[in-house]
Amino acid sequence: MKILVVNAGSSSLKYQLFDMVNESVIAKGAVERIGIPGSRLTAKGNGRQKVYEQPMPDHKVAIKLVLEALTDGEIGVISSMKEIGAVGHRVVASGEYFKKPTLVDDEVIKTLEEKTFELGPLHNPAAAAGLHACMDVMPGTPMVLVFDSSFHQTMPEKAYMFGIKYEDYKAYGVRKYGAHGTSHKYVSQEAARFLGRDIKDLKIVTCHLGNGSSITAVDGGICVDTSMGFTPLDGVLMGTRSGCIDASAVEFLARKKGYDAARMVTYLNKECGVLGISGVSSDFRDLEAGMEAGNERCKLALEMFSYQTKKFVGSYAAAMGGLDCIVFTAGIGENTPYIRSGVCDGLEFLGVRLDEEANNAKNGGAREISAKDSKVKVLVIPTNEELAIARETLALI
């Protein structure tokens, strides 16, 4: 069975076509600038690449072109769309409406559009546009929605509630939802597989550290807590996001800077984090280079990031009453030994001992970086959200 995975943004659309017999990617590509002059699709298949430059006023035109590329005489990998058994769509926000991957029908579309758009105003309308575009050009093909937050739906009430009036939680759905759930689920399962253990017997903390970063407590394969909140702004400081901050400081800053609420949210999402601290970059490679050149603010940004991540690891060990494994994943988690070392440093009391040589070794695959005598296994597991979505889609249909 072949499964198409679609990740639609407001003006972009990424896709991968999997052959689920061996979970291989047989084609992939990205559309940029949908609805903006200069639209283009870069498509790969058959070991070749082709760039299509033509107007794409909306997602439907973009999807049509993707399907043309998939059946193209030169880079095409299928002879007709009928070969695609199902389409998995990445959706960011689920609210409390979708607790697991969901097969699309009229009712599901209604709930997606009427209930979740205000929870993910930038992302969910784009996902819906991608969904409608696929349904138009592939009528009859099963469509599955896979939500970033659904893995976190198992959190107990005490973990997901904020300390606000209960009636306001009930009326407006203001609570922790979390994000990166597809990645946390995937790497925790891969970690158990790597260790040759049943995930039901493991207490794992997964650290998805990238431009957006979140940490999750996975107890017996189930999410019991996560660091992102109502939106991805919460938790540790990130590339450009502040992470958690006293709400009174937000009001104080808004008054001092003359910002309204919407401008403040943009400030906290786009201008803060390690970019705001360093004044140099949101990219950790630049921060490391800056630190090596003696820039104290780059060093501070890196230290804050490690320190805040470490605190989540420790608090989640406490929440689960133990810790068997720490998993690092995503751009920083997979590629930045300095941060992994900084997070683990001081966690010896929990039984964490890093093998610095293994931590510093250049190796792209899943690997163990803890010392042989470390009670807690420390792993680097490359994430693969697209494959995870394809697996969820296949499982559902």
Residues that bind ligand AMP (CB under 6 A): 210-211, 239, 283-285, 330-332, 335-336
Please give the residue whose beta carbon sits closest to ligand AMP in the complex.
Answer: 331
Round to whole Å and give the CA distance between 228 and 240: 14
Query: For ligand AMP, which is the closer residue by CB, 52 or 328?
Result: 328
Q: What gap in Å lies between CA 167 and CA 232, rounded to an integer?
A: 23
Shortest separation between residue 302's beta carbon and ligand AMP, angstroms:
11
Closer residue to ligand AMP in complex, CB, 147/284:
284
* Closest approach of ligand AMP to the CB of residue 217, in Å: 20
Give Dmax (Cα) for the chain. 61
Q: Is 168 assigned a catalytic role?
A: no
Name the helix (H) or strand (E) containing 103.
Answer: strand 102-103
Which tokens belong to 276?
């705001």
Query: Is residue 356 packed enough to be buried (19+ CB in 10 Å), middle (13-18) or exposed (0-12)?
Result: middle
User: How near is the Cβ of 93 to ligand AMP at its closest, in Å?
Assistant: 18
- Contact between residue 325 and residue 374 where contact means Cβ atoms under 8 Å apart: no
| Helix (H) / strand (E) containing 209 | strand 203-209
C-beta of 180 vs 310, nearer to ligand AMP: 180
Q: Which DSSP category does 101 fall into?
A: -
Exactly one of 148, 225, 234, 324 is catalytic; name it: 148
Give the residue ranges of DSSP H helices in the chain.
59-70, 106-115, 124-137, 157-160, 166-172, 181-195, 247-257, 261-270, 273-278, 284-292, 296-320, 330-335, 337-344, 356-360, 385-396
Nearer to ligand AMP, 9 or 45 (CB): 9
DSSP 3-state of 141: coil
Q: How far is the CB of 332 from ligand AMP (least distance, A)?
A: 4
Please state the closest distance from residue 334 (CB atom) to ligand AMP, in A: 7
Least separation in angstroms between CB 281 and ligand AMP = 8
Gap between the Cα atoms of 375 and 51, Å rounded: 50
**Catalytically annotated residues:** 148
